Structure 1
Amino acid sequence: MLLSPRAERNWEDLCSVLEEVLEDQSPRQLFALELGSGTGQHVIRFAQKMPFVTWQPSDIKEESRESIMEYIAATHVKNVLQPVHLDASAGWEEWAALSRNSCDIIIAINLLQYSSFKTAQGVFNGSGQLLEQNGLLITYAVYAINGTITPSCNEHLDAELRQMNPEWGLPDVDVLRQLAYGNGLRMERMIEMEEYYKCLIFRKL
């Protein structure tokens, strides 16, 4: 199993956000798709805390999918499906055979800053198609705001990401808001998290 120290540190705060935004929906069974599930630590913790949600983890990397399967086996969680290969930059029709309006929640944790703009476009296009009405897209990352990155540690992070891959870097909240609007989503809230991270909550109109 892969282990991310950051995931161990931030899962509780992320879980609190999820529980808050889903508070009024807990009586019914929900379906959630996680994009770029990574090690699998987040989705397992979310599943344990929110048994009323069936979770579909996904990742483009085989080693990540293997790690997720190992976490599922080790924890015996019943509400996490086997991970699927999913490339968020591809058209939504290629997203693991998921059908239109089939998701209540789509979540992307630390995906957008390690992705190309094409992937960001894919995330919002796919969410616009796969979320049911009033469904939620939740993204967690460090962001630029209106073209500005603050404080200096975030500038360094952006530079490091771009050095790793010129297509990576901190996504801009205003650009994401426009992508959302173009795909039938509206940004409802921006929640401040630890270490300058933020959760953006988008709702399908």
Structure 2
Amino acid sequence: MLLSLQAERNWESLCLMLEDVLEDQSPRQLLALELGSGTGQHVIRFAQKLPFVTWQPSDIKKESLDSIKEYIAATHEKNVLQPVHLDASESWEKWAGLSCNSCDIIVAINLLQYSSFKTAQGVFTGAGQILRQNGLLITYAVYAINGTITPSCNEHLDAELRQMNPEWGLPDIDVLRQLAYGNGMRMERMIEMEEYYKCLIFRKL
């Protein structure tokens, strides 16, 4: 079982955000896809706090998929499906057999800043196809805004990410807004989180 200290620190604020965003949806059972589930800590917490949502975790790394399976086995959470291998940079038809208009929610926690632009494009193209009408794409990251990164600690974070991989870096909110628009979605809300993180809420029109 893998352990992320950051996931242990931020799961509570993420759960509160999801409870707030999904407050009016709770009378019905929802299906949520998590892209880049990592260790599996988040998806287990989400399942515990939001029992009206069935969660489909996914990742591209075998060690992450194994860790998620171990968390599911250890917690016996009934509303978390077995994890699937999913590369968001690939066309949505390859997204683990998920069909068009099949998901109510797609969540990407700390995925976009550790990804190439091709992956970001894939996330929005896939969400535009797989989300049901009025479905939500929720992304959590540190962002640039219209090409500007503030404050200086976020500039350092962007530089560190690009040093690790030249294709990584803080995603730009304005670019994501355009990607959303081009795939039948609109940015509905921006929620300020801890340590300059933000959640962006996109709705499929």
Name the TM tier (shorter chain): over 0.9
**1:97-176 matches, cutoff 5 A:** 97-176=97-176
The TM-score with structure 2 as length reference comes to 1.00
Q: Distance in 1 between matches of 2:88 and 2:99?
A: 15
Question: What SS is found at the alignment partner of 1:38?
Answer: coil
Question: What SS is found at the alignment partner of 1:78?
Answer: coil
Question: What SS is found at the alignment partner of 2:187?
Answer: strand
Aligned letter for 2:102?
S
Give the match for residue 197 of structure 1.
197
Aligned letter for 1:172?
D
Instruction: Report deviation, 1:10.
Output: 0.5
Q: Distance in 1 between matches of 2:20 and 2:67?
A: 28
Deviations 1:78-112 (A, max 9, x none): 00000000000000000000000000000000000
**1:18-29 matches, cutoff 5 A:** 18-29=18-29
Give the match for residue 54 of structure 1.
54
Question: What SS is found at the alignment partner of 2:163?
Answer: helix
Aligned letter for 1:23?
E
Give the match for residue 31 of structure 1.
31
* Residue correspondences, number: 205
Correspondence 1:69 to 2:53: no
Q: Distance in 2 between matches of 1:37 and 1:112?
A: 13
Aligned letter for 2:24?
D
Deviations 1:59-80 (A, max 9, x none): 0000000000000000010000
Give the match for residue 86 of structure 1.
86
Q: Distance in 1 between matches of 2:25 and 2:200?
A: 19
Superposition misfits of 4+ residues, deviation over 6 angstroms: none
Unmatched runs of 5 consecutive residues or more in structure 2: none
Aligned letter for 1:138?
I
Q: Distance in 1 between matches of 2:22 and 2:16?
A: 10
Aligned letter for 2:150?
T
Correspondence 1:5 to 2:9: no
Q: Distance in 1 between matches of 2:177 and 2:184?
A: 11
Deviations 1:140-172 (A, max 9, x none): 000000000000000000000000000000000
Q: Distance in 1 between matches of 2:56 and 2:159?
A: 33
Q: Distance in 1 between matches of 2:151 and 2:3?
A: 28
Percent of residue pairs identical: 88
Q: Distance in 2 between matches of 1:24 and 1:202?
A: 16
Q: Distance in 2 between matches of 1:125 and 1:66?
A: 27
Give the match for residue 185 of structure 2.
185
Unmatched runs of 5 consecutive residues or more in structure 1: none
Instruction: Report deviation, 1:50.
Output: 0.7
Give the match for residue 95 of structure 1.
95
